[in-house]
Structure 1
Amino acid sequence: MFTHIVIGCNEPEKSIAFYDATFAALGIPGNRMGERAYYGSYGSGFFSVGRPADGGPATHANGGTIGLAAPEPAAVDAWHQAGLANGGSDEGAPGRRDMPDAKLYGAYLRDPVGNKLCAFTTNVDAEQEVG
């Protein structure tokens, strides 16, 4: 459905370290081009972070959340830990978040700029703790 997501940052090294770590936890390698990083591909959709093109300060989207797919709960846990270790802040610890029609396991973070992200998987065992 999406071709790409681009977000701005004010401190590229800090934000790129956060995204390198969190995307690596999901098995997605990154590429650098100057003060910008890219994750994913044109075929699957990509995510990019760097200074805003207009030269203004980067700000986060109020009410916006970027959802990322994780292959399993352990990847959600690793993603959350990597984000906290690389300048992110907790917005919801890893755990079960079942919906009426889906069994989910996920977590939420804010990146160094304040953008809200989540990582979720539907590959959930019945024994895993409900969050």
Structure 2
Amino acid sequence: MIEHRELRSICHMSIGTNQLIKAGKFYKALLPVLGIELVCEYEHAMAFGKKYPEFWLQIPYDKKIATPGNGVHIGFMASTKKQVDDFYKVGLSLGAKCNGKPGLRPEYGDPYYGCFLIDLDGNKIEASFWDSKK
């Protein structure tokens, strides 16, 4: 199996939380929809990914209140439109808020199909599928 990490532009990203246990349960239940699993867990942080830590959920290092950044969102890659739909449904069932139902968005390009949620801490998250057959 060939690893394609060298093709990525970003190594990993982190978001802060004020409720690590609750937020951890949310992401432990949501991310497997996209084939993303918990990779490692610490007292102050959890890391998720496909074989290595790509998405970190953590208590801020400076111990100050975590706040979501305006304009910032995390886009997770889906392998199918069904994964996008499942991400949306599971996220809502776990307490996320809708920030854009699953669907085509021609303004993002013809191959794009995605959805947007707001997680338990107010972070904006997305799942998208790019249909390269279009």
Length-normalised TM-score, structure 1: 0.85
* CA RMSD across the alignment: 2.2
CA deviation vs aligned residue, 1:77-116 (integer Å, no higher than 9, x gap):
1111121122211101111112474321100001111111
Q: Which is bigger in relative contact order (C-alpha 8 A, separation at least 6)?
A: 1
For structure 2, the residue ranges without an aligned partner over 5 or more in a row are: 1-8
In the alignment, is residue 34 of structure 1 matched against residue 46 of structure 2? no
Conservation of the 8 A alpha-carbon contact between 1:95 and 1:105 = yes
1-side partners of 2:126 and 2:62: how far apart? 27
* Structure 1 alignment gaps of length 5 or more: 127-131
Counterpart residue number, 2:73: 65
Match of 2:124 among 97, 116, 119: 116
CA distance in 2, matches of 1:125, 1:42: 27
Q: Is the 8 A contact 1:106 1:120 kept in 2?
A: yes
More divergent stretch after superposition (24-33 vs 67-76): 24-33
How far off is 1:26 after superposition?
Answer: 0.2
**For residues 12-51 of structure 1, what are the structure 2 equivalents within 5 Å?**
12-31=20-39, 32-40=41-49, 46-51=54-59
Equivalenced residue count is 125
Percent identity, please: 31
